[in-house]
Amino acid sequence: MLGFWYVMGKTSMSSVSRRQNKGKEKATYAIGNANEWVGNANEWIQPLRDKNIGIVIRDEQDHNVIHVGGGNQNLRVITFQLLKGESLRESIKRHEHFLALQLGLKPGHKVLDVGCGIGGPLREIAQFSMTSVTGLNNNEYQITRGKALNSKVGLDKTCDFVKADFMKMPFPDNSFDAVYAIEATCHAPDAVACYKEIYRVLKPGQCFAVYEWCMTNSFDPHNKEHQNIKAEIELGNGLPEVRSTGQCFEAVKQAGFEVIWDKDLAADSPVPWYLPLDTSQYFSLSGFRLTAVGRFITKNMVKGLEYVGLAPTGSQRVQEFLEKAADGLVNGGKYEKYHSYYGGEETDRKDNYSDMVNKYYDLVTSFYEYGWGESFHFANRLKGESLPESKKRHEHFLALQLGLKPGQKVLDVGCGIGGPLREIAQFSMTSITGLNINEYQITRGKALNRKVGLDKTCDFVKADFMKMPFPDNSFDAVYAIEATCHAPDSVACYKEIYRVLKPGQCFAVYEWCMTNSFDPHNKEHQKIKAEIELGNGLPEVRSTGQCLEAVKQAGFEVIWDKDLAADSPVPWYLPLDTSQYFSLSGFCLTAVGRFITKNMVKGLEYVGLAPTGSQRVQEFLQKAADGLVNGGKKEIFTSMYFFLARKPHLDS
């Protein structure tokens, strides 16, 4: 059992000429994988009614809900690939962002989610890609719940639900710019007919992406144990049949699609997708009911609820279905080649960097990595979203806007220790070169690349981004995250980026800028600007207008630009604002924390354990925090002025 992913495009009217052009105009589409059950669920909701009897489980954020039990296509388990060091929730979001990336979603697109459940992925993808998503579902309870959750996050005006069977959709032909399905179409009684209906409502030349449940090539239909596992999966999840990857692949072609690419994303998942269900290796409160003790308690609890009428007739049978489903999923997943991951000898490389080089940025890197992890940047935040989650989404958004494709060669300008580099490389399956002028950060970044197995595909180059050591037209895409603000001349910096970027390709950037609310004659505004510049080693914080004009002067065509901080539901500067927010990493910014930190750094510098100048750097960082928070509160500074710019084709 796996999450089989594929991308396919609907042939446009000009498909013949497009084939002659070797598919250059073909839209990108991706299909998914089954890699992890939505765990961390801590709330049971009342069983569904009538034929859709089942159990709905949701997490504390009402996000990524699992629907399992009786009924048909409305009931599904969401699975996905989990990376090392990644939380279950983070992996789910990345899995959803990946769909948007492969479909090449753009702001304003009209998108269809086939078999949407209560809309967890719908909301995540809509907010991530700035699109309007319609969720198709045949269950009234789930639609009601989904609409309430849409209202809660302010998506009730742009996203909606439609009650209908996905075998007979109530939409005109050619209605949507993109269509996706996440582990839902496996419930279709006829895969070809289901895909044909999706083909009908999709606009010509556009793409459909799907994560399918499938039996892999390792499945032996004559093996009784394999047969039993397949039956458990089908019975426990209300599936007419778990089709093979080959059957799904053939069905989508019979429906009329051109398959752009396909892959079993579970095959190379660093962490087994079924781990949260495997109580022999993993324990969680949500997984406790799958243990022997948990099953006994659950069985009798459901039996009691059914007896007193608090659960509908048939609930106990549904609970037994769920146990069968879990057993089948775990056993099916174990037949994939995960033993190679667990069986091989793992060398635990410990990075030893206690001896810091006597340079400013060496010390700053240690402070930053302590407070911010591997990604030294801010992010606009959604309600209910953690800081690490918001930073990952912020990085995924760059990949989406650049339209990154597997195998592309990408440049990260001013990459730090490579946190975003690693995240984007794994997310988009690209090869990324990080450009950095600091030896310590490069050494640290290379060690972290080795740790996650990216040392063969991603690398660092020590150089000044004003004079890059790359030939003209070297990269398929270039991005910079809060780095080019350090350039002494923004036009010259952007011109150098323009030079190394291939014609027709794009450059995306998050810039630190003063907004239109900044008054250069206001003394308080001047003081805040000076604090930001001094505390962050910046020659000057430019205005959004100056940056926009500079990128045009460099030769780029600006596709779109926006201050992403302007409408952030949660203030981007919140982690630095100790008057509203407390964390251990932010403790050093409080009055008590500053006193302790100052004297600790002073003592370390005195005994030689911290380099000369450490106390001065610590004071700089405090000034920087003050300036950033005050600038953010007064809305005169933004840390995320975004623009996407294209280098024109040679013939234009």
> How confident is the model over 370-381, as pLDDT tens digits?
555 666 788 888
Report which of residues 136 and 388 the model is more confident about: 136
Is the pLDDT assigned to residue 151 strictly greater than 90?
A: yes
Strand pairing category for 501-514 and 475-481:
parallel
CA–CA separation, 349 and 354 (whole Å): 15
Instruction: Round the average pLDDT of the chain to a whole number and report it.
Output: 75
Contacts of 59 (CB under 8 A, 6+ apart): 38, 40, 41, 42, 43, 65, 89
pLDDT at 270: 76
Is the pLDDT assigned to residue 15 strictly greater than 60?
A: no
360-645: CATH architecture: 3-Layer(aba) Sandwich (3.40)
pLDDT at 651: 55
Q: Which of 103-117, 248-262, 342-356 has the lowest average pLDDT?
A: 342-356
Residues paired with residue 182 on neighbouring β-strands, in sequence order: 211
pLDDT at 625: 80
Do 82 and 270 form a contact (C-beta atoms < 8 A)? yes
- HSE-up (13 A, CA, CB side) for residue 633: 16
| Domain 2-334 top-level CATH class | alpha beta
* Segment 573-580 long-range contacts (CB within 8 Å, at least 24 positions apart): 573/378, 573/628, 573/629, 573/631, 573/632, 573/633, 573/639, 574/381, 575/387, 576/625, 576/628, 576/629, 577/629, 577/633
- Average pLDDT in the 22-42 region? 29
Phi then psi dihedrals of residue 79, to 5 deg = -125, 160
CA–CA separation, 350 and 429 (whole Å): 26
What's the pLDDT band for 617 if we cut at 50, 70, 90? low
- Average pLDDT in the 548-573 region? 95
Do 8 and 29 form a contact (C-beta atoms < 8 A)? yes
Q: Which of 14-18, 150-154, 476-480 has the lowest average pLDDT?
A: 14-18
Show the beta-strand stretches assigned E in 564-646: 637-646
Q: Where are the domains of the chain?
A: 2-334, 360-645
Q: Which of 50-59, 154-163, 612-621 has the lowest average pLDDT?
A: 50-59
Is the pLDDT assigned to residue 77 strictly greater than 80?
A: no
- Average pLDDT in the 478-491 region? 94
Looking up tokens 């752009």, which residue turns up? 260
Q: Do the first three CATH levels of 2-334 and 360-645 match, i.e. the same topology?
A: yes
Is the pLDDT assigned to residue 158 strictly greater than 70?
A: yes
N residues, the chain: 652
Is the pLDDT assigned to residue 36 strictly greater than 60?
A: no
pLDDT at 514: 97
Q: Which of 45-49, 144-148, 218-222, 539-543 has the lowest average pLDDT?
A: 45-49
What's the pLDDT band for 54 if we cut at 50, 70, 90? very low
Q: What is the 3-state secondary structure (H, E, C) of 305-325?
A: HHHCCCCCCCHHHHHHHHHHH
- Average pLDDT in the 313-339 region? 48
∠ CA 289-290-293 to the nearest 5 degrees?
65
- Average pLDDT in the 1-30 region? 42
Do 390 and 576 form a contact (C-beta atoms < 8 A)? no
Question: What's the token pair of residue 455?
Answer: 């040392």
Contacts of 55 (CB under 8 A, 6+ apart): 44, 45, 47, 48, 68, 69, 318, 319, 322
- Average pLDDT in the 157-170 region? 95
CA–CA separation, 302 and 291 (whole Å): 16
Contacts of 72 (CB under 8 A, 6+ apart): 138, 187, 238
Q: C-alpha 123: how far from its chain's center?
A: 13
CA–CA separation, 8 and 424 (whole Å): 23
Is the pLDDT assigned to residue 299 strictly greater than 80?
A: no
pLDDT at 298: 53
What's the pLDDT band for 387 if we cut at 50, 70, 90? confident
pLDDT at 62: 37
Residues paired with residue 211 on neighbouring β-strands, in sequence order: 5, 182
Do 413 and 484 form a contact (C-beta atoms < 8 A)? yes
Report which of residues 270 and 139 the model is more confident about: 139
Question: What DSSP element (H or E) covers 559?
Answer: strand 557-563
pLDDT tens digits, 500-534: 999 999 999 999 999 999 999 999 999 999 888 87
Query: Dihedral of the CA atoms 499, 500, 504, 507 (nearest 10)?
Result: -100
Question: What's the token pair of residue 326?
Answer: 């879990």
Strand pairing category for 431-436 and 409-413:
parallel
- Average pLDDT in the 557-568 region? 96
